[in-house]
Amino acid sequence: MGRWLIAAAVAAVIVVLLAIWRRRRAARLATHRREAMREFDDNRSLLAAEFFHAAATSGKPRGLRWTSCDLAGQPLFAVDEKTGILYALVAATVGFEAVAGGGMEEVEAVGNLRSATAVFMHLGDQWSTEGRVVFNLEPHEAVKHFHATLQPVER
């Protein structure tokens, strides 16, 4: 009976230590995310320029050249629960023009502004972007669309 009591006490201590560790880890992660969100706000204009350059040089959409991209409103932050990557999704209005010989010159709607969501990622200790854009969805709609992988994060 004495050994059983010792084993139960050790198990209880392990459970308590695991609970403390998880709580501290969650607090550190929340602090890290809040700092990342502040960094996004502080570097927004630089990130917007980086986004436009990456998107404009991506060759997408085919046959169109990016002419403008205005980011508006507060970013919606979301985390990929599988990878832990924090994302900033920002409403964007994008303008295009047809590329000569790209097959889009005759399309009347080429000059229409497009609603989209610009995607930014916090990797390691800095924000970056690959120029990824989700057309025809506002940030909250993009999170809803990708609900299987993205979960919103409160500020």
The domain limits of the chain are 2-152
Share of the chain above pLDDT 90, in %: 61
Name the residue among 107, 115, 121 with its Cα closest to residue 135.
115
Per-residue confidence (pLDDT) for residue 131, from 0 to 100: 95
Per-residue confidence (pLDDT) for residue 117, from 0 to 100: 98
CB 119 within 8 Å of CB 132: yes
Which stretch, 68-72, 97-101, 123-127, has highest mean pLDDT? Answer: 68-72
Query: What is the residue type of 100?
Result: A
Q: How confident is the model at residue 19 (pLDDT cuts 50, 70, 90)?
A: low
Mean of pLDDT values over 30-34: 80
CB 94 within 8 Å of CB 113: yes
Residue with tokens 């994302």: 87
Q: Which of 37-41, 77-81, 103-107 has the lowest mean pLDDT?
A: 103-107
Given the DSSP bridges, would you call strands 150-152 and 64-80 parallel, antiparallel or unpaired?
antiparallel
- pTM reported for the whole predicted model: 0.82
Share of the chain above pLDDT 70, in %: 94
Q: In the chain, what is the greatest distance between 2 CA atoms, to the nearest angstrom?
A: 87
Per-residue confidence (pLDDT) for residue 37, from 0 to 100: 94
